[in-house]
Amino acid sequence: MQKTALITGITGQDGSYLAEHLLGEGYTVEGVVRAEGSGNRSRIAAIEDRLTLHTADLLDQASMARLIERVKPHEIYHLAAQTFIPTSWAEPIMTAEVTGLATVRILDAIREVNPEIRFYQASSSEVFGQAEHSPQNEKSAFRPRNPYATAKHYAHSITANYRDYHGLFACSGILFNHESPRRNEQFVTRKITRTAAKIRVGQANELRLGNLLARRDWGFAGDYVRSMRLMLQLPEPEDFVIGTGEAHSVGEFVEAAFSYLGLDWKQHVVVDSQFYRPAEVHPLIADPRKAHAVLGWRPQVSFEGLVRMMVDADLAALGEDGQRVRKSLHAA
């Protein structure tokens, strides 16, 4: 039987990788886009003719229910969210609506329209926040430290509530940071690889960053979307921590990107207090043993591999100069 998947946030980093993955698995893939969104469809441009896109408002439950009724999906992957932590401080209520409350609207629409539909919630390691212990697993306490994390905490809990009380097949992947050449440029990894590539071809000279000691468990987005589909194929719905189990500092990411390009980062990186976080989270490191054992999921791209993939893509986007540098790196 050919399955139909409906993806919210299909225009984002994960949405685009997940759509490609599900098409490869033989799914019919449909996506929700917003009428007044960023309008940036570049991440799905290569596959857009194989997708069906629908306009609906995540904050309007009736519009979501009508859409679900029309599409009749077997699986819904809810990835849309306001995802940037500094924006969540600037716009906490919008973040609560989009990142938190949209989830219950979709869950309730599923309950009304067809409770057999399987639901995936993109939860976040940010829910661990002020973690007492590292690494974190599915049993670790939630202590969110910012409005994004608090909204994700709500979305995570309401997903479990609808599973336990209404019997829906609803589950959350507690995702640790995952990056790619499609990562939004506000996030530190992409900011580093894009600026380092520009410095290498002479289009920039300096990179201003905040806390170089901040640590994250960074993986490759293309690996993480595979876990989403695997979770919805289980006999029973369960939540899973998804991460590499390995943490690196922002400084280590900088060092890896600059040294790959043959640059000395100390000559270009300027620490700027405007990029410091008021409430930094404790070291967030995944304990993904449950995902290894139950899903058979393991990431395939290493930290070094991720940095190089992102630098290579940013070089390639810089025209002839960038492509020449990229070739020389690969020839070396």
Catalytic residue numbers read 124, 126, 148
37 forms part of the interface with ligand NDP (CB under 6 A): yes
User: What is the CA 86 to chain-centroid distance, rounded?
Assistant: 16
CB 84 within 8 A of CB 187: yes
87 forms part of the interface with ligand GDP (CB under 6 A): no
117 closest CA partner among 165, 170, 55, 193: 170
| Max CA distance (Å), the chain | 59
Alpha-carbon separation of residue 257 from 56, 199, 266, 308 (angstroms): 40, 11, 12, 7
Contact pick of 41, 130, 137, 275 for ligand GDP (by CB under 6 A): 275
Tokens representing 138 are 């599915």
Binding mask 170-199 for ligand GDP (x = CB under 6 A): -------x--------xxxx-x--------
User: What is the CA 170 to chain-centroid distance, rounded?
Assistant: 19
Tokens representing 63 are 């519009």
Q: Which is nearer to ligand NDP, 58 or 315 (CB)?
A: 58
282 forms part of the interface with ligand GDP (CB under 6 A): no
The Cα–Cα gap between 228 and 221 comes to: 11
For the residues of 242-303, what is the DSSP string, one character each?
ES-S--EEHHHHHHHHHHHTT--GGGTEEE-GGG--SSPPPP--B-THHIIIII-----S-H
124 forms part of the interface with ligand NDP (CB under 6 A): yes
The three-point CA angle 149-154-155 to 5° equals 95
Q: Which is nearer to ligand GDP, 128 or 260 (CB)?
A: 128
The Cα–Cα gap between 283 and 130 comes to: 9
- Smallest distance, Å, CB 214 to ligand GDP? 3
User: Beta partners for 174?
Assistant: 123, 241
Binding mask 3-32 for ligand NDP (x = CB under 6 A): ------x-xxxxx-----------------
Q: Which is nearer to ligand NDP, 13 or 195 (CB)?
A: 13
Contact stretch for ligand NDP (CB under 6 A) within 109-117, 175-183, 195-203, 207-215? 175-183
Q: Which is nearer to ligand NDP, 88 or 195 (CB)?
A: 88
Q: Which does 209 bind (CB under 5 to 8 A by kind): ligand NDP, ligand GDP, none?
A: ligand GDP
34 forms part of the interface with ligand NDP (CB under 6 A): yes
- Smallest distance, Å, CB 103 to ligand NDP? 9
Q: Which residue has the tokens 């580093």?
A: 192
Contact stretch for ligand NDP (CB under 6 A) within 104-112, 176-184, 203-211, 280-288? 176-184
Residues in touch with ligand GDP (CB under 6 A): 85, 177, 186-189, 191, 209-211, 214, 216, 250, 275, 277, 280
